[in-house]
Structure 1
Amino acid sequence: MGQIHQHVHIEWRGGTCRVKWWSGEYLDSGRKRYESKGGFTDETSAYEHGQNKLYEIRHGTHVKNRDGATLMTQWLDDWLGAMDHRHLTERSYRSAVEIHIRPYFKKLNASVADVDLLAYRAFKKHVYSKLKDSSAKQVMVVLGMVLDDAVPKLIKVSPVERKRRRGKFTKKPKERKKDMTPEAVEQLARNARTVFGEAGYVFFWTMAMTGMRPGELYGLTREYCYPNWPASDPRPDPDEADRYEEDAERYGEGGELMPAIRVERQVQFGDGRLQFYPPKFDSHRTLVIPPFLAGLLASLLASHDKDWVFPAIMGGSLGTVNFDYKYWRDIADGADERSGPLTRSARPAIPEVPSFKGKRLYLVRHGAKAWLDEDGHSRFAVESRMGHEVPGVEGVYSSVTVAMERAIMKTSQERWERLQERRPTSHS
């Protein structure tokens, strides 16, 4: 006959005993819902197990039997369905789940509770054997979030191993960058003109003078660019009416007050097609530009009828091409001459730009910030221009003033003019 100890019930079946404990819930009929575990050879062990379960229930750390049996594939569906991230982040997480995590645990028919420390390490070994370290690390980050979010409903604790620093501190190597000079940007711009026309020349000077992210430049359209903006602003948000009026007063009259570019969006691929998304970190911002760049942009827009400010070779958005592979590597690393009857498009040789050879396009944005820092502009004005959030009291109390913007225009124009003065002159 079984014995009852408060909410714990022990009963024998054959040579082993089973313990049942009240889950703290009730069935639809009003009766108490019990959970159980069998296989004990003595009542003391069974009773202690039941008491431990009651303790967990009282302290909110109990995992119900039916929850603990949830398959990883089912939990992954729930986890993906609850995601609320930016497009690129969500796409990255979903890719890690569908390509690497789900197939592995589906093959094992594993429940969430089955993914203990050893199973976690086995998956880690599997992933690092298949992928480069950087890609494998990203997959493990996603699995870590999946398992962390399963606590405490599906598992008591996460098996994810956290790195704990021990011993002597070792500084991570920092990417080596060379100072960006106006001469280097000019050569990049000329190389880009050879690759995809005048849009290429203006593209690089715009990136160097504004620090815009590549996706923001790829997605820049006429209505948000000097000389059209702010008069051409679509004004899509009624809640921003005050900002629209202030923009018209501060940058309006065809840009005669302060020529500027408005960063409202970027382009990225989503659902198999190029789409507009908010700029990274919702960093909507207005970027004043120096007179020389205002002139270049006005001439460029007058030279073509495309919606994109910087159209690709075929007229579409640069976001639709593999810019790094098709354009950037030739622009930075140089390329041989293209000529002859079988050449699709003849092109003169392109000289390399040593300070950018083998480097990332994004370093032009880095160089733009370095120029602003060199010129001594306020930290708040610089970070705001780069689309960064300034933390703490400084971020709450500071603002970008007209004087700060005019100072940025002035030093940017002077940098360009110094470059023109250093250019060699031809003698007859």
Structure 2
Amino acid sequence: MPYVEQRGAKFRVKWWAGEYLDNGKKKYEGESGFDTYEEALDYGRDREYEVRHGKHVSKNRGDILIKDYALNVWLPDQDLRPESVKTYRSMLKAQINRVWGRRRVGDITTPEYLAWKRTLNDKADKGELSRTYVVDILMVFNLLMSDAVTRYRYRTDSPVPPPEPRRGKYVKTVRRKKRPLAMGPVYQLAVNAYTVWGFTGWTYIWHAAFQGQRPAEMYGLQKLYCWPAWPASDPDREQREESLERYGEMPATRVEYQLQWVDGKKKLTAPKYDSHRTLVTAPFLTEMHVALAASNDSPWMFPAMAGGDLLGARFDRDYWAPIRDGSPERQARKDFLRPAIPAVREFEGLPIYRLRHWMRECLEEDGLAKTAIETRMGHELAGVAGLYSNLTLKMERDIVESQQERWESFHRAAGGLWMPPFPKPLPVDQGIEESQQAKGRESEAA
């Protein structure tokens, strides 16, 4: 039975918390500030009901600050990939902890949460934050509070209210409209990429557009997982034997890794969603792969301009921006001479991810099997369709024929398109090489 006492004009209630002190005596908790005896008594009875039914949360458990809970308790306990951990940590520091960091987990109320949610939505309406980013922030906060209740027992309930049933007329979700793309703009991207990055850039654009790999997967693509080395070069014996039987005469790329930053270090990790897969390659792209692989000694299929991997380069700024947006002629330094690059208007403001989506559109346009398309994208079909579907050899051959026909028909229609010569060092690489040779000659003379 709760014990109620009057303190001045208010009432205070005490109840047994269901725990014992070190000396064996019962541990009591209390709450004050009630206007009437009955309100205090009812509050105490509710707490004792929670104790009897195993739902009570000790008051001091919710005293942990949000910033300590989020970064030191909750985030390390999540089974996430390195890139997701990095994204969550950034979101927690930049948005959630900035507002709630010094608040106790057990003190946050629903009205406060709703006011914060309105503030975020207002920022999205004004363009200060993207709508997707706001949705992600609220999703992470909801997970924080849900786990505080169910996993860590810092609270009895979440301040995030459950979603309300939809009322009123249906309002369609506004999605970003995709501009239709043809082969011409992709070709111009490849030409621009050759100017910026040489034959590596030319091949990179066509690979992104016809293989559909994610950027991090292309950063981590090694020659040993590309034709002509693969599948004979596959270090996994069982996978090598199985792949030789199927792809021994059909060129393909194996998606085995992606290259990411993990704890400040570059590391090869499994592809997103563990989407290990084999991508058959059309003959025109196979020829590019063979020529590119023979043109340098890098272990990477797409080495950076100055050597090494692409993860360490500023890809969006130094590669994709001039390829997509164009660049004026450069004459400032001998080693970096470069002609003017035209902008590709159809790709204005778009990420390189658009090429991956374009590949999907092309395959759907050509009527290929959904199983083949989803597998190539690194996705899984949901439900029964995913359970019983299987990527057949004919499906893969259909992909090769479809992509090769798209390439050839484009060239037939355009007629006399410029094509790059066999790979040779970039002007910047040539300049570095000549400088190194000159230093070598000077040291020999000395």
Q: TM-score, normalised by structure 1?
A: 0.86
- Matched to 2:51, the amino acid is I
* Aligned 8 A contact 2:145 2:160 in 1: yes
Matches of 1:170 and 1:269 in 2, distance apart? 40
Aligned length: 408
Matches of 1:299 and 1:114 in 2, distance apart? 64
- The answer for the alignment partner of 2:286 in structure 1 is 294
- The answer for the alignment partner of 1:174 in structure 2 is 175
Quick one: which of 89, 100, 115 aligns to 2:108?
A: 115
Residues 217-236 of structure 1: matches in 2 within 5 Å? 217-235=218-236
- The answer for the alignment partner of 2:240 in structure 1 is 244
Distance 1:39 1:185, change over 3 A: closer
- The answer for the alignment partner of 1:144 in structure 2 is 142
Offset of 1:191 from its aligned partner?
1.1
Quick one: which of 63, 68, 72 aligns to 2:66?
A: 72
Matches of 1:114 and 1:81 in 2, distance apart? 23
What do residues 166-220 of structure 1 show as CA deviations (whole Å, max 9, x unaligned)? Answer: 4333323332323332332222111101110101111111111111111111211
What do residues 137-156 of structure 1 show as CA deviations (whole Å, max 9, x unaligned)? Answer: 54333223222221252222
1:357 equivalenced with 2:355 (yes/no): no
1:159 equivalenced with 2:159 (yes/no): yes
- The answer for the alignment partner of 1:238 in structure 2 is none
Matches of 1:103 and 1:352 in 2, distance apart? 40
- Matched to 1:113, the amino acid is G
Quick one: which of 41, 51, 66 aligns to 1:47?
A: 41
Distance 1:352 1:393, change over 3 A: same
Residues 2-17 of structure 1: matches in 2 within 5 Å? 5=1, 8-10=2-4
Distance 1:259 1:19, change over 3 A: same
- The answer for the alignment partner of 1:424 in structure 2 is 415
- The answer for the alignment partner of 1:322 in structure 2 is 314
Matches of 1:415 and 1:105 in 2, distance apart? 54
Offset of 1:129 from its aligned partner?
6.4
Offset of 1:223 from its aligned partner?
1.1
Matches of 1:40 and 1:283 in 2, distance apart? 58
1:82 equivalenced with 2:47 (yes/no): no
* Aligned 8 A contact 1:22 1:34 in 2: yes
Identity over aligned pairs, percent: 41
What do residues 234-289 of structure 1 show as CA deviations (whole Å, max 9, x unaligned)? Answer: 22xxxxx543321121113xxxx110000011112232233222111111100000
* Aligned 8 A contact 1:21 1:34 in 2: yes
Matches of 1:14 and 1:160 in 2, distance apart? 35
* Aligned 8 A contact 2:325 2:348 in 1: yes
Any idea what SS the aligned residue of 1:33 has?
Answer: strand
- Matched to 1:157, the amino acid is D
Matches of 1:337 and 1:39 in 2, distance apart? 74
Matches of 1:40 and 1:21 in 2, distance apart? 15
* Aligned 8 A contact 1:329 1:358 in 2: no
Any idea what SS the aligned residue of 2:306 has?
Answer: coil
What do residues 88-136 of structure 1 show as CA deviations (whole Å, max 9, x unaligned)? Answer: 1111111122334334445xx4211221134335555776769524445
Matches of 1:17 and 1:422 in 2, distance apart? 87
- The answer for the alignment partner of 1:347 in structure 2 is 338
Distance 1:189 1:35, change over 3 A: same
What do residues 292-320 of structure 1 show as CA deviations (whole Å, max 9, x unaligned)? Answer: 21111011100111111111111122222
* Aligned 8 A contact 1:116 1:159 in 2: yes
* Aligned 8 A contact 1:223 1:234 in 2: no
Offset of 1:366 from its aligned partner?
0.6
- Matched to 1:363, the amino acid is R
Deviation larger for 176-185 or 314-323: 176-185
Show structure 2 runs of 5+ residues with no match: 418-446
* Aligned 8 A contact 1:180 1:364 in 2: no
Offset of 1:291 from its aligned partner?
1.3
- The answer for the alignment partner of 2:440 in structure 1 is none
* Aligned 8 A contact 2:14 2:31 in 1: yes
Distance 1:277 1:121, change over 3 A: same
- The answer for the alignment partner of 1:186 in structure 2 is 187
1:262 equivalenced with 2:254 (yes/no): yes
- Matched to 2:160, the amino acid is V
Offset of 1:425 from its aligned partner?
3.9
* Aligned 8 A contact 1:20 1:35 in 2: yes
Matches of 1:251 and 1:301 in 2, distance apart? 19
Distance 1:115 1:416, change over 3 A: same
* Aligned 8 A contact 2:328 2:339 in 1: yes
Distance 1:15 1:173, change over 3 A: closer
Distance 1:70 1:174, change over 3 A: closer
1:98 equivalenced with 2:93 (yes/no): yes
- Matched to 1:393, the amino acid is V
1:203 equivalenced with 2:201 (yes/no): no
Any idea what SS the aligned residue of 1:178 has?
Answer: coil
Deviation larger for 223-232 or 140-149: 140-149
Matches of 1:40 and 1:382 in 2, distance apart? 64
Matches of 1:102 and 1:402 in 2, distance apart? 51
Matches of 1:12 and 1:425 in 2, distance apart? 95
Deviation larger for 307-316 or 160-169: 160-169
